[in-house]
Structures are given as structure tokens and as C-alpha cells.
Structure 1
């Protein structure tokens, strides 16, 4: 995992530069995104300890066991996910979406959600 610059500021990405998200319905390290949710928002899973790359705070990295028994990576207590709509490294098309009962956000280096600032290119005002 690493922290990279994006149109939303410096955000958390995987080793290949793909954007990672948190799900606001997750109020603990236990994931609440399963079945259809996990198809749209695949969890970042691992078979070993997660590794902190550039800009990542190693003490914020962790893991949690998913309902299917796989090991999901957490950061600052948030289970981490990809968005199936992101087609290439650097895409952030899942930012701010309200799906499966809550909103999804990219994370900053401190492991907190990044909210859009001001009017964006998709903002009609």
C-alpha cells in the first residue's frame, strides 16, 4: 500500500496504484459489505501481513476476518475496498457514492475519509 497524489489530494492506494475506499456502514473493523456489495466493492484481501509503502503509516495497518473467512486489510480501523467501476490506477469514480446503505470515500494518509471540496467537474452549480 502507498499514498499517491490524485485530484482529491493524497490518497491511499494498493501496490499497483489502484484507489482504496472505506464504507461508512462499517462502524468497526468488521466488514458489513458482503455478497452483492462485495461484488461491486471487492475487499482488499491478503494472505500475509499488509506492507506499508511510501506515505503509509505502518501502525495504522491491520487485518480483519471477513464472513467468508478471508483476511481483509484495514487502515485506521477501516476495512478497505476497491470499486469495480474504477478501470485503471488513479481512478476515483467510487468517491462519494451512496450504495448498499451508506457512502463510500477514499482515504488520506491518516486513514480518514476524504470529502470533496468545493464544486467539482460533475457539480451542476
Structure 2
């Protein structure tokens, strides 16, 4: 077989393999990595996912975007962490065992708040869901009040979306 044909065949085979891997790691609708293995085993999970508007972010096992609040201190001391509104921004509850998919488990922790809740933390930052995110993949909480941001897999805040990305975000979010 000539070198050119062999190289072309290998390239096509590689592209086909990547397509199969991508198809297995995507939910087919949102463009995010599928947390199917995390969801299948039950219990809470942190999943590294990709957002078309925000880049790498963290979701729960159901692909709901998780956020951090800039007015929370990183690594808040036990029993003194501020308590934001729980109906709009419910904290992600901590559990004894948290599964991490694409997230360094050494960055996962918790803090006990004055109201007795024990939210999950990532990189020292308490994590929240946003009540206005109507479906998995929504990122409507990004930049709310200039204090709420999607969390990255390292616990940092996701960068502010560009105006073009913000316009696209008003649709599916991913």
C-alpha cells in the first residue's frame, strides 16, 4: 500500500474513533460531556463539563450548572460562612461520599454554616444551583449581580461570557 494511502486510511480511522468517543461522551443535545457514569451510580457528583459560552465548568450528575458566589470567602471558617438566599441560590449539599468526574477530589470539601446547612465546596468555594436554570445545560446564573459565576473544575469562577455568547446563552445555555 502506498504511504499516502496508508496515512489517509489511518487519519480516517482516527477521525472515526474520535467521533465514536465524542458520541459516547455527549448527551447529544447540549454539547456537554455526559455524566452518565456518575448519574448511574447514584448519589451526589461533581462533573467537569464544557459550556459553549463559558468554557470548562462544573455540573452535578444531572448536568445542572454549579455556581460560586464572589461574596463568599474562599475556605470560609466553619459556622461563620454567609448565607445567601436559599430559594434562588440553593447550596449544593455535601455528602460523605462525592464522586468526581474530571474534578480533582482533593479540591472537594464542605463547610458548616450558621443555619446548620453543610454546602459542598470546590477549591474552598461553596457551590450553588440557580433556580432560574430551567433545564440541564442552562447557565443563566452566570454574572448575576456581578457576583455569581459558574465554577470551573478547579473552583475558579468561569470567565464572563462575551456579548455574542451572552446572546446565545439566552437559548439553551450550552
TM-score range, shorter chain: 0.7 to 0.9
TM-score (norm. length: structure 2):
0.62
Report the number of matched residues: 117
Which stretch has the larger CA shift, 102-111 or 71-80?
A: 102-111
CA contact (8 A) 2:72 2:125 kept: yes
The one-character-per-residue Cα deviations of 1:8-59 (angstroms, maximum 9, x if unpaired) are 111100111100000000013334234xx11110000034232212x11111
Q: For the residues of structure 2 that align with 1:122 and 1:39, how far apart are their CA atoms?
A: 24
Counterpart selection for 1:52 from 75, 96, 100: 100
User: Higher strand proportion, which one?
Assistant: 1
Counterpart selection for 2:59 from 6, 9, 13: 13
CA contact (8 A) 1:85 1:93 kept: yes
Give the structure 2 partner of residue 89 of structure 1: 136
Q: For the residues of structure 2 that align with 1:73 and 1:122, how far apart are their CA atoms?
A: 28
Q: Trace 1:15-94 onto structure 2 (pairs within 5 A).
A: 15-30=61-76, 31-34=81-84, 37-53=85-101, 55-94=102-141
TM-score (norm. length: structure 1):
0.84
SS at match of 2:99: coil
Q: For the residues of structure 1 that align with 2:155 and 2:130, how far apart are their CA atoms?
A: 17
User: Higher helix proportion, which one?
Assistant: 2
Q: For the residues of structure 2 that align with 1:20 and 1:122, how far apart are their CA atoms?
A: 18
Superposition deviation, residue 110 in structure 1: 1.6
Q: For the residues of structure 2 that align with 1:47 and 1:121, how far apart are their CA atoms?
A: 34
Using CA pairs under 8 Å that are at least 6 residues apart, name the structure with larger relative contact order, 1 or 2. 1
**What is the CA RMSD across the aligned residues, in angstroms?**
1.7
CA contact (8 A) 1:21 1:80 kept: yes
Q: For the residues of structure 2 that align with 1:60 and 1:122, how far apart are their CA atoms?
A: 29
